[in-house]
């Protein structure tokens, strides 16, 4: 039987190859099947990463909560150095060739709280 799109839930979004590879490895090590939606698009055309909304990490609906916990447990330490130097360098790059710095990071989906009823 072919799975339907409604059989999957979004566990998070990754912006960058390092974050995507880390998330895929962590989810697969936990025994959770994962589909990295738009991975091939953003690999071939990396400047479309932000326009496509990053790489959507889709998992089976039954494993969505476990996948969110796995993604929340991943911590990234980025040795980027001086933030002001990166900001000035990014601005110069943007003004010089019209291309911003690529996005990066791993963002999980927070569970939606049940709507609260407001009584008059």
The encoded tokens of residue 34 equal 């994962």
Q: Residue 73's pLDDT band (boundaries 50, 70, 90)?
A: confident
pTM of the model: 0.68
User: Which has more pLDDT, 33 or 42?
Assistant: 33
User: Which has more pLDDT, 70 or 105?
Assistant: 70
| Residue 100 near residue 16 (C-beta atoms within 8 A) | no
Segments of the chain assigned E as strands: 8-15, 35-37, 55-60, 105-108
Q: Residue 80's pLDDT band (boundaries 50, 70, 90)?
A: low
User: Which has more pLDDT, 81 or 63?
Assistant: 63
Cα separation of 115 and 93, whole Å? Answer: 44
């Amino acid at each position: 039987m072919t799975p339907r799109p409604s059989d999957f839930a979004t566990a998070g979004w990754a912006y960058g190859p390092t974050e995507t590879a880390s998330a895929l490895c962590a989810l697969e090590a936990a025994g959770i099947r994962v589909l990295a939606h738009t991975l091939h698009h953003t690999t071939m055309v990396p400047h479309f990463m932000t326009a496509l909304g990053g790489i959507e990490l889709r998992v089976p609906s039954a494993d969505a909560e476990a996948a969110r916990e796995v993604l929340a447990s991943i911590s990234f330490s980025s040795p980027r150095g001086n933030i002001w130097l990166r900001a000035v360098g990014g601005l110069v790059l943007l003004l010089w060739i019209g291309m911003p710095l690529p996005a990066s990071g791993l963002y999980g989906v927070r569970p939606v709280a049940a709507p609260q009823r407001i009584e008059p």
